[in-house]
Amino acid sequence: MSSPGPGAFALRLEHRLRGARRIAVVGIGDELSPLDCLGIETAREIDGLRLPGVMVVLAGMLPENVTGPLRLFRPDVVLFLDAAEMGAPPGTIAVIEPGEVRATLFSVHVLPLPVVMEFVERDIGTEVILLGIQPDTARDDVLSPLGRESFKGYREALSGVLRRISGGGAVEHVPEGDPDPAG
């Protein structure tokens, strides 16, 4: 898998999200595992932006448990964020196409993530996009300083895309238990 820089990643993602008014971001991974916590970390950062029309769910290691909140929110697009071995530089975030999903996921889930993604797509009738985050498999901690800097650039690109798509501001937060930002 090639690894475009943050700018090319942002353009590709923005193109895929064009026309979406409601976006669900699902952070996946094991927070206690340095190699598998990047999806949760990224989703938590996006949640802190409090973007209108963007709901964040921290699924942990059980992404299959988010279908209820997703049904209530009725997103146009669901972004799954998960650590993935993509052969890219550590810290890279990339769109993983359905045909590339097979062996790239680093997380161990109760149900395979492709099964969950397909279920969400069919059951909710929404587009599902997987964003893989390359961990630093050569280290015991999360990312090297260089990998951390690269990860920061990709996270900023992702945040920028979501700001533009959602209308730009940090104006309203979707409180827990109320998945409809429109009221």
pTM (2 d.p.): 0.84
| Local confidence band at 141 (pLDDT 50, 70, 90 cut-offs) | low
* Owner of token pair 């690894």: 3
Q: What is the 3-state secondary structure (H, E, C) of 62-106?
A: CHHHHHHHHHHHCCCEEEEEEEECCCCCCCCEEEECHHHCCCCEC
CB 132 within 8 A of CB 84: yes
**In the prediction, which pLDDT does 101 show?**
62
Residue 23: pLDDT over 90: yes
Q: What distance in Å separates the CA atoms of residue 166 and residue 182, rounded to the nearest whole number?
A: 13
Select from 134, 96, 125 the least CA-distant residue to 12: 96
pLDDT over 70 percentage in the chain: 81
Instruction: Answer whether CATH 3.40.50.1450 is correct for domain 6-166.
Output: yes
Residue 163 in this model has a pLDDT that exceeds 80: yes
pLDDT at 155: 94
pLDDT on residue 35: 79
Averaged pLDDT, 63-67: 85
pLDDT at 99: 72
In this model, does residue 48 exceed pLDDT 50? yes
Predicted pLDDT of residue 172: 34
| pLDDT at residue 57, rounded to an integer | 95
Average pLDDT of the chain to the nearest whole number? 83
| Least confident segment among 8-22, 87-101, 136-150, 160-174 | 160-174
* pLDDT for the residue numbered 175: 35
Yes or no: say if 83 and 106 are a contact pair by the CB < 8 Å rule: yes
Higher pLDDT, 53 or 146: 53
For the segment 95-116, the average pLDDT, to the nearest whole number, is 67
